[in-house]
Homo-oligomer: A and B are copies of this chain.
């Protein structure tokens, strides 16, 4: 479905719906109210059909979300324009992902699911893979390193990005509430968790200018070690 393999059939009435329209409606909803904002009824309402009409175009909700996700990914950046070797390139790549996550925080929730790659996401992967291959990686380590970078980006974004719609769902936390909660608990039980208490006092859990920087440097440093050691 994501790959549009089946040729559009000629018989029957022409469809009032397009996968593009569905995706765009879903994206708008998710941007405004988080991933939970995507419901079959709401998407249907937004494109002007009944909920069941959607099932003529997507097998189910999961696939609709996957479609919205792959659509919002868009095309990967052109890394050939970046000079300085593989490391600036993969860094630009990671920051591209970061920007998507910033503008569409609900993508973080999709990233954690095991999902089939759509054309756009796979193009991103190929793009990153080229950069890492240039650095000397190949085979399994190359793919693993890619996953690692994406995972790292996601982890940091989860804690750093203020998601609209987060906290709207009952029981969900905003990142502000989260840091406040941690501080409160560590304050009260400082004796039990001395190391963390000290770390907090000296700046952990505080917002920083460039949250991605630390983890990215660390992971890329680790990868550079691999390459340098000619482990691969």
Contacts and interface: CB of A to CB of B under 8 A. Distances in A.
Nearest to A206: B140
A143 interface: yes
Contact of A62 (B117, B156, B170, B193): B170
A129 to B, nearest CB: 4
Interface in A105-157: 108-109, 112-117, 122-123, 125-126, 129-130, 133, 138-145, 147-148, 150-152, 154-156
Quickly give the copy total for this chain.
Answer: 2
Contact of A215 (B144, B158, B214): B144
Contacts of A12: none
Nearest to A173: B114
Contacts of A116: 173, 178, 181-182, 185
Contact of A199 (B129, B166, B215, B226): B129
Interface residues of A, number: 77
Residue among A130, A172, A185 with most chain B CB within 10 A: A185
Interface string A161-194: 0000010001111110010011001100100111
A221 B218 CA distance: 8
Interface in A53-69: 59-63
A223 to B, nearest CB: 6
B192 A126 contact: yes
Contacts of A109: 112
A82 interface: no
A196 B146 CA distance: 11
Given A155-B151, A202-B139, A214-B144, A196 B114 contact: no
A148 B215 contact: yes
Interface of A: 3, 59-63, 108-109, 112-117, 122-123, 125-126, 129-130, 133, 138-145, 147-148, 150-152, 154-156, 158-159, 166, 170-175, 178, 181-182, 185-186, 189, 192-196, 198-200, 202-206, 208, 214-215, 217-223, 225-226
10 contacts: A62-B171, A114-B174, A116-B185, A123-B193, A129-B193, A130-B195, A142-B199, A144-B215, A145-B218, A218-B225
